[in-house]
Amino acid sequence: MSRSALERYLLTLLHESGTPEGTHKGPLVAISRDYGAGAGEIAPLLAARIGVPLYDRAIIDGIIEQIEGDPALMRRLDESAPPGLVSRLLHGYGNIPSTDEYAKALVEVVLAIARHGGVILGRGVHLIASIPDMYRVYLRASPATCIARLAQRENLDHHAAERQWRRIEVDRRTYLKHHFGRTRDEFDDFDLIVNTDRMDAFERIVDVIVAGLHAHRPDHTQQ
């Protein structure tokens, strides 16, 4: 599904009040990652394997921009959520200011995705507390591995790849700290952590994630 098609689909979900009767609810997986750990390749493989859409940063932020630009939709979303739900999800860690409109919109988007299932890549979604059945995965790798992969993928020399890696890592950590008051280094926030240093066969990493998902949600063992 193209980005524009996924955005239209997400907007449809945001206008629904629940999962239509007879609609299959797929698993919900939130992937956090080090830059260069392979998540960009692993996430689409995982989504295809378990039969759900993949939502990356561009799609999530594109939808949030549309929500923030549509006060009527934002009011409807606030009114349709169970009383206090968004507030409880936002303040699960006690660090998200109530004035953070981006975080509020992010919660609304994730609640909509959760009704049907999906793989969500990044955006600190794993830190939204109490989303039922969310499976939280952290894909990590050593700086040396991440930089080497980045250099090969982007055809960069080592120093250019290292500069790019450091810049992106700082940006991601700043985002998490600003919106959630946390870092990726708090490992209790995850259900599964996979070190991809010596695992270049990304299909095998998907096998590991799916095995963990089956243990986390036994009803999806037949996916």
Q: Show the domains of the chain with their CATH numbers.
A: 27-213 (3.40.50.300)
Residue 6's beta-bridge partner residues? none
Q: Give the burial string for 41-66 (b: 16+ CB within 10 Å, else e).
A: bbbbbbbebbebbbbbeebbeebbee
pLDDT at 219: 58
* Residue (of 120, 140, 176) closest to 35 by Cα position: 140
pLDDT at 98: 47
Residue 54's beta-bridge partner residues? 119
**pLDDT tens for the chain, residues 1 to 223:** 555 665 566 556 555 545 444 445 788 999 999 999 999 999 999 999 999 999 988 887 777 777 666 656 555 555 555 444 444 444 444 444 444 567 777 777 788 888 888 999 987 777 776 676 889 999 999 999 999 999 999 999 999 999 999 999 999 888 888 777 777 777 778 899 999 998 878 999 999 999 999 887 655 544 4
Residue 222's beta-bridge partner residues? none
pTM value is: 0.76
